[in-house]
Structure 1
Amino acid sequence: MANTDKSRADDRAGLAALSPFELKDELIKAAGGGAVERPANLAMLNAGRGNPNFLATIPRHGFWQLGLFAMRESERSFAYMPEGVGGFPKREGLEERFEIFARENKGVPGISFLLGALSYVRDQLGVNAGDFLYEMCEGILGSNYPVPDRMLKLSEQIVAQYVRREMIGKHPFVGDFDIFAVEGGTAAMTYIFNTLRENFLIGPGDTIALGTPIFTPYIEIPRLNDYQLNVVNLEADVANGWQYSKQELDKLRDPKVKAFFLVNPSNPPSVKMNTESLEYIASIVKERPDLIILTDDVYGTFADDFVSLFALCPKNTILVYSYSKYFGATGWRLGVIATHRENVLDTQLAALSQAQRARLHERYESITTAPDKLKFIDRLVADSRTVALNHTAGLSTPQQVQMVLFSLFSLMDTPDAYKNALKRLIRSRKQVLYREIGIAPEAIDENEVDYYTILDMEYLGERGHGRELVDWIIENTEPSEILFKLAKEARVVLLPGRGFGTPHPSGRVSLANLNESDYVQIGRAIRRLMDEYIARYQKANGKEH
C-alpha cells in the first residue's frame, strides 16, 4: 500500500513538472481511454492548444495564382528542352505579361487580390510594381538564396508597413526600424535568447523580469543550463482585470533587472495591457534607459485599437510578432523580429569591456570587415546559423512571399472586415461557453481580446459559490485532478493555467480552435463537474438537502 502511495506521489510530481503543452498529451490520452462509459458519438474536444480552426483564404488564393504565373515565367527559359527544365523569371516586360495572365484568368479566386496588391504597392507605398512582382516571382519559386539574408528588400518594406499599422497604429513614432523574418514566434524567442547571451547582454546569474501569466517557454528557457538566469515575476491580477499594478511594475526599477519579457495581449488571460500601464512602463524606461524589453505581440491583431510597447519605448524594445494565429498559419512558420535603428542593444554592445569586444570581434570577423559595428539584429541573423553558415541564413523565400501577401491583405482591408469577422467569431464562442458554465458575464472590458479565456477556479468559484467551497476544493483535490476528470469523463481537454505562471488553480480554454457548438458542450461538461464537487462538498460538510 505504501508503495502504491509513493507511486502515486511520484506520478503527481512528474505531472507537476511537465510543461502544460506536454501535460496536454497526457490529458489527450486520458480523454481517449479510461473505463468511463461514453456515448459512441462523443468526440474528444481539445481546447488545449491555440491552433485556430479558421484561416485567411484570399491571400492564399493569391499565393497559388502567383505561383502559377511564376511557373509560366520560369518555363519561358529553356523551352527547347523537353526534360522539364525552367529558368529564372525575366524582369523586362514582367508586369505586362502578368496583366495578360490576369486577363486570361479573370474571375479566378486570387487574381483580383493580386491586381489590387500591385496597385497598392505602386500607388500607396511608392514601390515599383514590376520590381515587386519580380521579387515575388523569384521568391515563390525558391530559386535563389534569401538576399538580403535578414529579409528580402521590398518584402521588408511591405511587412514594415503592416507592423506599423497593427503594432503602432496612430501612436507617434520617430525613426525607422529593421525587420528580421523568422520561422514563427518560437524561432524568434530562440534566436533572441541566444544572441543576448552570446553578446554578453545577459549571462548566468543575471536577473530578468517576466510579466506573468506568460507563454510557458518564457518561464522554462531562463532555467536551462544554457542561461541560468534569475527571474522576478511581475504578476497580473485576475481581480484587477489581469492588469499589472504599479507596485508590480515598480520591480522594473531595480537596476539588477536587465531585461523585461512580456506577452501582450497576455497568454493565457488574453488581455491587452491598458494605456495606463504602458505609459507607466515608459516612464520607468526614461529613468532606466538601460532596460531591455522584449514584447511578444502575436495576439495584438485580435485586440481593439492595439498599441504595442514597441510604440512607446521603441529604442529599448525588441518586438516579436507571429502571423500564425491571425491568418491561421501555424504550419507556415511566419514571424518577425523588429528593432529600432537606434536602440539600447547596440549601445550596450558598444559599451562592453575590451575583452568582451575582442571575443565578439573574433566571433563575427568571418562575415564582415567591421564586426565591432555589426548591429544586434544582424548578429541575430548570423547567430541563427551559428555564424559560419551566415551566407545561407534567412527565412525561405516562399515563406516570405506568403508573409508579404498576408500583410498586403490586411493593409488593403481598410474597413477591417476580416479582423472584425474574427473578433465576432471568437467572442461569440466565449459567450456561449460562459453561459453554459452558468457564469454571468461581467461588464465588457475593452482590454479583453478573447483568443483564450482562463477559467480561474479560485476567482470564478468564489464569485459563484463562495469562499468556503473554493477552500474545500483546493484542500481536497490535486492541482491537475479537475483537468483529468474533465478529460476522462467528458473528453474535454484544457491546459493548466499554472503552467503559464498563474497563481491560482485554473484551466486555459482556447476560443479559436473549435466550433461554437463545441463550446456549448465544454461549458456543460464544466458545469456538471462543478455540480459534482458542490455535491461532494455538501456531503462532507453535512449540508445535503
Structure 2
Amino acid sequence: MKRTDEKRLETLSPFEVKNTLIDLAQHSHEKTMINAGRGNPNWVATAPREAFFQLGMFALEESKSNFSGYEGFGGMGVQQDISLRFLQFCEKYEDQEGVQFLIEAFQFITDQYQVDGDALIYEWVEGILGNNYPVPDRMLKYSELIARKYIEQEMAGSQPLPAGKFDLFAVEGGTAAMVYIFNTLKSNRLLNPGDTIAIGAPIFTPYIEMPELEDYAFNKVEIMADEASAWQIPDSELEKLNDPSVKAFFLVNPSNPASVRLSDETLYKIAEVANRRPDLILLTDDVYGTFADNFTSLAMLAPKNTILVYSYSKYFGATGWRLGVIGVHEDNNFDRMIRDLPEDTRSTLSQRYQGIALEPSKIKFIDRLVADSRAVA
C-alpha cells in the first residue's frame, strides 16, 4: 500500500475504512493484500490509535492537575467541567494527529445520543488511566452504548433491529468469550457433561478441542457446509438441529477457514428451528462479519436463542489488545431456562452466587457470565 493511500485512510472514520480498503484492493493489483487471517494482521489502523494516545495525554494532564507534592505521581480525575477542559486541550493541540478524530467522536456521541459531556469524558479518562476497577464491572456505561450502536450497525445488515436491546459484556478477545460462555453454560446446568452440541464445520480452533476437554465432555455433531455449494449448509445438515438431543449449535460466520458468510436463506432456516425450539442454544462468532458486505448476524434473526461474540481484533488490526464483546438480548431464553431448572439445582446456583447479590436467583445470564469469568470472586 502506497503512503498516499495510507494517509487517505488516516482521514477516515473507522466506519469508512472497510469500503475504502475493498476499493483499493479491487482497483489496483499493486496494492498489498490486507490479511485478516488467524493470528496477527499485517496492518494497524493508525487513526484510532492516534486518537487513543492523544486521549491518554489529556488524561495524564487531568491526573497531574489535582495531585501535587510528589514528582511522577498523579491523582484521580475530576468530573466537573472536564469536557470543557477536554475541548480546551483539543484546541491547544489541534494540529496534532488524532485530535480532530477525538473532537468529532465527542461531538457525534453527545449530539446523536444526548450524552452528558462531562460524564462521557470522565469515563474515558478513568478508563484510559486504569486507576480504578470498572463500574459497572460488565462494561462501562458509555462504552457499552458506543459498542452497542456499532454492533447494531455492523451486525444487522438490511434487517430491522429486534425490539429491545442487547446487553454487552466486554471481554479479552474472542477466545476469552468462548471460554466464559462454555464455563457459564456448564456452571448453570444449561449444558452438562454428555450433552450433544452441534458445531458448524469446517471450523477453527478452539471450537474443535474445547468440547472434548474433560472440563466439559460434550458429544459433538458436525453440521458440515458444502464446498460445492459455495460453503453453504445444505438442508440435510440443518435437519440435525431438529433433534431435541442437540442442545446447542456453535458456528463461526463468516466461516474460518472457508471465509464465506452464510446466506440469508440459511440464517432464516436456522432461525425457524430456533423459533420452534426455545431450548436450543445458538452461539454465533461473528468476528469476520465486518469484512462482509451487508452482513446479517444470526443474533438479529433469533435474538432470544443466540449468544453473540464479536472481536475488534482482526478488523482494527489489534489482535494484541484482546478486545471483544459478548452480546445477549435483554429478552432471552437463557434467563427463562435457568428459572425453569429443578428446584434443587436452582438452590445450588443460588448458593454459588449468594456472595454477589441479595437475590442470586434473579441474576441475569449475562451477569452470571461476568461473575463466572472471575470464579464468582
After TM superposition, is the score higher than 0.5?
Answer: yes
Q: Which residue of 1 is the match for residue 304 of structure 2?
A: 315
Q: Which residue of 2 is the match for residue 285 of structure 1?
A: 274
Q: Which residue of 2 is the match for residue 75 of structure 1?
A: 64
Q: Which residue of 2 is the match for residue 268 of structure 1?
A: 257
Q: Which residue of 2 is the match for residue 363 of structure 1?
A: 352
Determine which structure has more spread, i.e. the larger CA radius of gyration.
Answer: 1
Q: Does residue 387 of the first structure (1) align with residue 363 of the second (2)?
A: no
1:64 to 50, 53, 77: 53
Q: Which residue of 2 is the match for residue 206 of structure 1?
A: 195
Q: Does residue 85 of the first structure (1) align with residue 70 of the second (2)?
A: no
Contact 1:278 1:309 in 2 (8 A): yes
**Quick one: distance in 1 between partners of 2:80 and 2:217?**
55
**Residue type of the partner of 1:216?**
T
**Quick one: distance in 2 between partners of 1:340 and 1:100?**
39
Would the alpha carbon gap of residues 261 and 136 (structure 1) be closer, same or farther in structure 2, given more than 3 Å must change?
A: same
Give the number of the structure whose residues are more often helix, by fraction: 1
**Residue type of the partner of 1:56?**
A
**Structure 2 unaligned blocks of 5 or more:** 1-34
Helix, strand or coil at the partner of 1:261: strand
1:97 to 75, 85, 88: 85
Would the alpha carbon gap of residues 82 and 283 (structure 1) be closer, same or farther in structure 2, given more than 3 Å must change?
A: closer
Q: Could you tell me how far 1:215 is from its partner in structure 2? A: 1.6
Q: Could you tell me how far 1:50 is from its partner in structure 2? A: 3.7
**Residue type of the partner of 2:207?**
Y
2:207 to 218, 231, 235: 218
**Quick one: distance in 2 between partners of 1:139 and 1:47?**
28
Trace 1:332-411 onto structure 2 (pairs within 5 A).
332-388=321-377
**Residue type of the partner of 1:163?**
I
Would the alpha carbon gap of residues 118 and 318 (structure 1) be closer, same or farther in structure 2, given more than 3 Å must change?
A: same
Q: Which residue of 2 is the match for residue 191 of structure 1?
A: 180
Q: Which residue of 1 is the match for residue 288 of structure 2?
A: 299
Q: Which residue of 1 is the match for residue 242 of structure 2?
A: 253
Trace 1:496-515 onto structure 2 (pairs within 5 A).
none
Would the alpha carbon gap of residues 48 and 61 (structure 1) be closer, same or farther in structure 2, given more than 3 Å must change?
A: closer
Q: Could you tell me how far 1:100 is from its partner in structure 2? A: 1.5
**Quick one: distance in 2 between partners of 1:222 and 1:147?**
33
Helix, strand or coil at the partner of 2:310: strand
Q: Could you tell me how far 1:78 is from its partner in structure 2? A: 2.1
Helix, strand or coil at the partner of 1:305: coil
Q: Could you tell me how far 1:48 is from its partner in structure 2? A: 8.0
Give deviations 1:57-89, integer Å, cap 9, x for gaps: 11100010000001001111123x143221111
Q: Does residue 176 of the first structure (1) align with residue 165 of the second (2)?
A: yes
Q: Which residue of 2 is the match for residue 125 of structure 1?
A: 113
Would the alpha carbon gap of residues 361 and 78 (structure 1) be closer, same or farther in structure 2, given more than 3 Å must change?
A: same
**Quick one: distance in 1 between partners of 2:83 and 2:36?**
46
Compute the TM-score of the two structures, normalised by the length of structure 2.
Answer: 0.89
2:132 to 139, 144, 152: 144
Q: Does residue 110 of the first structure (1) align with residue 98 of the second (2)?
A: yes
The CA RMSD over aligned residues, in Å, is 1.3
**Residue type of the partner of 1:342?**
D
**Quick one: distance in 2 between partners of 1:242 and 1:232?**
18
Count of residues in Structure 1 that have an aligned counterpart in Structure 2: 342
Contact 1:279 1:312 in 2 (8 A): yes
**Residue type of the partner of 1:222?**
P
Give deviations 1:34-72, integer Å, cap 9, x for gaps: xxxxxxxxxxxx998442111211110001000000100
1:134 to 122, 127, 131: 122
Contact 2:158 2:294 in 1 (8 A): no
Compute the TM-score of the two structures, normalised by the length of structure 1.
Answer: 0.62
Q: Could you tell me how far 1:101 is from its partner in structure 2? A: 1.0
Q: Could you tell me how far 1:288 is from its partner in structure 2? A: 1.1
Where relative contact order (Cα < 8 A, 6+ residues apart) is larger, the structure is 1
Contact 1:323 1:334 in 2 (8 A): yes
Give deviations 1:277-302, integer Å, cap 9, x for gaps: 01111111121121110000000000
Runs of 4+ in 1 over 6 A off after TM superposition: none
Would the alpha carbon gap of residues 49 and 127 (structure 1) be closer, same or farther in structure 2, given more than 3 Å must change?
A: same
Would the alpha carbon gap of residues 197 and 150 (structure 1) be closer, same or farther in structure 2, given more than 3 Å must change?
A: same
Identity rate, percent: 58
Trace 1:488-527 onto structure 2 (pairs within 5 A).
none
Q: Could you tell me how far 1:203 is from its partner in structure 2? A: 0.7
Q: Which residue of 1 is the match for residue 31 of structure 2?
A: none
**Residue type of the partner of 1:108?**
Q
Contact 2:36 2:315 in 1 (8 A): no
Q: Could you tell me how far 1:107 is from its partner in structure 2? A: 1.5
**Quick one: distance in 2 between partners of 1:230 and 1:332?**
33
Helix, strand or coil at the partner of 2:268: helix
**Residue type of the partner of 2:329?**
H
1:331 to 320, 345, 349: 320
Would the alpha carbon gap of residues 48 and 78 (structure 1) be closer, same or farther in structure 2, given more than 3 Å must change?
A: closer
**Quick one: distance in 1 between partners of 2:230 and 2:50?**
40
